[in-house]
A and B are shown apart, each in its own frame.
Chain A
């Protein structure tokens, strides 16, 4: 009798521990904003409802300090199961040995079969190994304001850099109308985009090298491109755009002060909120004298810390997050290009006029050649500031373009690209 009672009690304990066991996943995002947090929380709610006993705890550090926070948490092996990794953060975390190799998950994932071109390569940026599951793509395109341009009898968007300069100069009156929305703070993507459009042989694996392996800043075409870029500031942009970041750029574009803007897809969410439907449009980036332009393939994704104790559950959440309906919701609300090709067919929003610029660029990979930054180089973080400082000196005529290019060349020679 005693034996039966003991066994029953033991079974009850075991059964209840199985039934009531709970798992808490701790995840951290890096591109935090109140709106984005709400979007992710909605997906978390759905996941928790579909997986009783699993709780997902979202950490949303302020955007400015998020990268440091991730680095510090991962270095100290603080409890984390899912970490958002931007392309610029990836190599650092991999070199620290903090990210789990996700090949075993991704190779068996049904979703990976539907990834758009470039996503596989993006996931395997470092050591040709997938350390993240990409959740969004960021490629720059041209945003323009037809209503402002039409006032000057200009129809459509400029197709080449030369045409863009002509339009911007034409409409600039130096008072309350300018052409180009210049980016003064953190200008890396902007300066390079214009400068590289003067080439026709950029290395698809590294934006700062030509196909023959030469550093682009040593080439005379770089000087042409840099002078052109400086002219955009001096001749077509407000003077104070030297200190403009993302907020000021959007503000200027929305007000119509500068109707031409290069930006990432996440700008669409903000513009959709600030402008009525159809007031802005997107078009492919203008091509340079070489007939090409070289946008970079930015991406973000979810990784799993190598020390996580809930790796399989973390993967389950990541897969859930990337399901077409969830990924479409995330990308539409936040403003990003989905990695899953099915979404572009299923959701009419992603084939609407807002995405015309990207659609045309992706359809013509010969003209719009995707390239990559040397983000796996350890000086990448320093380069960001270095190029920004030199740009400011150039804009204030404290340095010549020739000297700037020498400095850029030396920087990358020292870095060994």
Chain B
């Protein structure tokens, strides 16, 4: 940085005031420190207010008995909220649902997003408009998407059933929300549809950064398109994929909008994931924010464990390569 170079320059051995030199230097450094601090304060304040404070508050809440009807008699109750959540009888099912929801959503979002990015990589007429159409789901509200798809999948009045009946594939409408497996399948399909654009955007950007001469060298060495994909394309976009997958896992886990709008976690908790469970606690258990916070802390803990292992594994693979 230019500033530090100047400071080094100020330490010239033939300076006229040898006694005051360390003091001046200290003064300069402290001034610089406070200047940098002043630059950081707005950012830290916003992060502190919007992220750190709610996280810490949520953590404290999870050990209290805070409900809206109990706002004046709040006290610490130890791990009782966690015990209630874990011993609720459905916690195992909710964890399993959360795993299915994340795994299939992210897997197919990534595969289809990758396919889409590969298709859009080469320039063609009207690519800009086409790209806009492809990416538009990402701009919509998750809750609105859930409501729209809820009607599309409706067993009696839904367009999907209507099309299937008209095409002669089925005779009566499929009750997508009356069957646990179909309900989970429906919400995952919608989430895949919603999340493909994000993967496509990220991967397309990474693809455009691959130098053409690498492919030319590979072709000259006799590589076919499949070899080129696995030996050139994939290694180049790998860092982007690793980070995008991690981001999506975190977001999808914290994304109750679609499920809440479509099924509210039903039928019989078949689509209830942790974040939906958290909302249901607030709405149906006398606004029990403490118990809901305990679920929130569980979500954060699981994500922290996952992130650590994920980075450990992806770094090991990187070293192997």
B178 within 8 A of A: yes
Interface check A72, CB cutoff 8 A: yes
B45 to chain A minimum Cβ distance, whole angstroms, is 24
Residue of B172, B180, B264, B266 near A174 (CB, 8 A) is: B172
**Residues of A with C-beta under 8 A to B175:** 238-240, 242
**Inter-chain contact B287/A68, CB cutoff 8 Å:** yes
Tell me if B284 and A384 are in contact (CB < 8 A): yes
Residues of B within 8 A of A393 (CB): 268
B278, chain A: closest CB distance, angstroms: 14
Q: Judging by beta carbons under 8 Å apart, are A96 and B69 in contact?
A: yes
Report if B115 contacts A (CB, 8 A): no
Give the size range of B's interface with the partner.
Answer: 20 to 34
Report the separation of the CA atoms of residues A71 and B69 in the bound assembly, to the nearest whole angstrom: 8
Contact of A239 among B72, B155, B284 (CB under 8 A): B155
Residue in A closest to B284 when the chains form the complex, CB atoms: A385
Inter-chain contact B269/A92, CB cutoff 8 Å: no
Is the C-beta of A257 less than 8 angstroms from some C-beta in chain B? yes
Q: Interface readout for A4-40 with B: 1 if CB under 8 Å, 0 if not?
A: 0000000000000000000000000000000000000
Cβ A75 vs Cβ B154 within 8 A: no
- Residues 216 to 256 of chain A near chain B (Cβ within 8 Å): 238-243, 248, 251-252, 255
B157 interface residue (CB < 8 Å to A)? yes
CB proximity of A164 to chain B, nearest CB, Å: 20
| B176 interfacial by beta-carbon distance below 8 Å | yes
Determine whether B7 belongs to the interface, using a CB cutoff of 8 Å to chain A.
no
Chain A residue numbers with a CB within 8 Å of B194 are: none
CB distance from B260 to the nearest CB of A (A): 10
> What sequence of 0s and 1s flags, for each residue 276-305 of chain A, a beta carbon within 8 Å of any chain B beta carbon?
000000000000000000000000000000
- Chain A, range 44-81, C-beta contacts under 8 Å to B: 68, 71-72, 75-76
Q: Does A414 contact B (CB under 8 A)?
A: no
Interface residues of A in 166-196 (CB under 8 A from B): 174-175, 184-185
Mask, B257-273, CB within 8 Å of A = 1, is 00000011011110000
> At the interface, yes or no: A398 with Cβ under 8 Å from chain B?
yes
Residues of chain A within 8 A (CB-CB) of B71 are 75-76, 96
A381 in contact (CB, < 8 A)? yes
Q: B177 touching A242 by the CB < 8 A rule?
A: yes
Is B177 touching A240 in the complex (CB atoms < 8 A)? yes
Taken together as a complex, chains A and B put the C-alpha atoms of A243 and B267 apart, in Å, by: 7
A358 to B173, CA, bound (A): 35
Across the interface, which residues of B come within 8 angstroms of A359, CB to CB? none
How far, in angstroms, from A392 to B285 measured CA to CA in the complex? 19
Alpha-carbon gap, A72 to B289, bound state (A)? 11
Least Cβ–Cβ distance between B184 and chain A, in angstroms: 13
List the B residue with the shortest CB-CB distance to A255: B157
* A180 to B287 alpha-carbon distance, docked (Å): 34
> With A240-B156, A396-B267 known to touch, is A68 a contact of B282 (CB < 8 Å)?
yes
Within 8 A of A (CB), among B155-214: 155-157, 171-173, 175-178, 180, 183
In the complex, which residue of chain A has the Cβ closest to the Cβ of B272?
A389
Question: C-beta contact mask, B269-281 vs A, less than 8 Å → 1, else 0?
Answer: 1000000000010
Question: A242 and B267: CB pair below 8 A?
Answer: yes
Within 8 A of B (CB), among A63-122: 68, 71-72, 75-76, 92, 95-96
B286 within 8 A of A: yes
Closest chain A residue to B264, Cβ basis: A185
Known contacts: A68-B287, A382-B286, A385-B285. The answer to whether A248 contacts B154 by CB under 8 A is yes
**Which B residues are CB-close (under 8 A) to A353?**
none
**CB proximity to B under 8 Å, residues A357-371:** none
Tell me whether A395 is interfacial, beta carbon within 8 Å: yes
**Chain A proximity mask over B64-91: 1 for CB below 8 Å, otherwise 0:** 0000110110000000000000000000
A240 touches B176 (CB 8 A): yes
* Cα(A389)–Cα(B269), bound, Å: 7
Min CB gap A7→B, angstroms: 50
- B267 is contacted by which of A248, A378, A384, A392 (Cβ under 8 Å)? A392
- A-side contacts of B267, CB under 8 Å: 184, 242-243, 392, 395-396
Contact, CB under 8 Å: B156 / A252: yes
Q: Does the CB pair A257–B156 fall under 8 Å?
A: yes
Chain B residues with CB under 8 Å of A174's CB are: 172
- Return the chain A residue nearest B158 by Cβ: A240
- Which residues 338-352 of A sit at the B interface, judged by CB distance below 8 A? none
Q: A185-B264, A243-B266, A392-B266 are in contact. Are A71 and B68 (CB under 8 A)?
A: yes
CB-defined contacts of A72 to chain B, threshold 8 Å? 68, 287
- Tell me whether B178 and A239 are in contact (CB under 8 A): yes
Q: Are B69 and A382 in contact (CB under 8 A)?
A: no
- Tell me which of B69, B157, B171 contacts A251 (CB under 8 A): B157
Assess the A396–B180 pair: CB atoms within 8 A.
yes
CA distance A242 to B157 in the complex (A): 14
Q: Which of B28-78 contact A (CB under 8 A)?
A: 68-69, 71-72
Q: Residue of A at shortest CB range from B155?
A: A240
- Which of chain A's residues have a CB closer than 8 A to the CB of B68? 68, 71-72, 75, 92
When chains A and B are docked, how far (Å) is the Cα of A160 from the Cα of B284? Answer: 34
What is the minimal beta-carbon distance from A77 to any residue of chain B, in angstroms?
10
Question: Could you tell me which residues of chain B, from 123 to 153, have a CB within 8 Å of some CB in chain A?
Answer: none
By beta carbon, the residue of chain A nearest B69 is A92
State in angstroms the CA–CA spacing of A382 and B67 once bound together. 13
> Are A242 and B178 interface neighbours, CB within 8 A?
yes
Instruction: Say how far A204's CB is from chain B's closest CB, in angstroms.
Output: 26
Contacts of B156 in A (CB 8 A): 238, 240, 252, 257
Roughly how many angstroms separate A411 CA and B177 CA in the complex, as a whole number?
A: 27
Chain A nearest CB: distance from B90 CB in Å?
8
User: Closest CB-CB distance, A275 to chain B, in whole Å?
Assistant: 16
Cα-based distance from A381 to B291 in the complex (angstroms): 15
| Cα(A396)–Cα(B268), bound, Å | 8
Q: How far is the CA of A221 from the CA of B29 in the complex (A)?
A: 85
Bound form: Cα–Cα A239–B180 in Å: 12
Closest to A95 in B: B69
Given contact pairs A239-B178, A242-B178, A71 touches B287 in the complex (Cβ within 8 A): yes
Cα distance A213–B309 in the bound complex, in angstroms:
58
- 6 A-B residue pairs with Cβ-Cβ distance under 8 Å, sorted by A, are A96-B71, A184-B267, A239-B155, A242-B177, A243-B177, A385-B284
The chain B residues found within 8 Å of chain A, CB to CB, are: 68-69, 71-72, 154-157, 171-173, 175-178, 180, 183, 263-264, 266-269, 280, 282-287
8 residue pairs, one from A and one from B, having the closest CB atoms: A240-B155, A239-B175, A243-B177, A385-B284, A240-B175, A71-B68, A392-B268, A75-B71
Given contacts A238-B156, A243-B263, 20 further A-B contacts (CB under 8 A): A75-B68, A76-B71, A96-B69, A239-B155, A239-B175, A240-B177, A242-B178, A242-B266, A243-B177, A243-B178, A243-B183, A243-B267, A248-B154, A255-B157, A381-B284, A381-B285, A382-B285, A385-B280, A392-B266, A395-B267
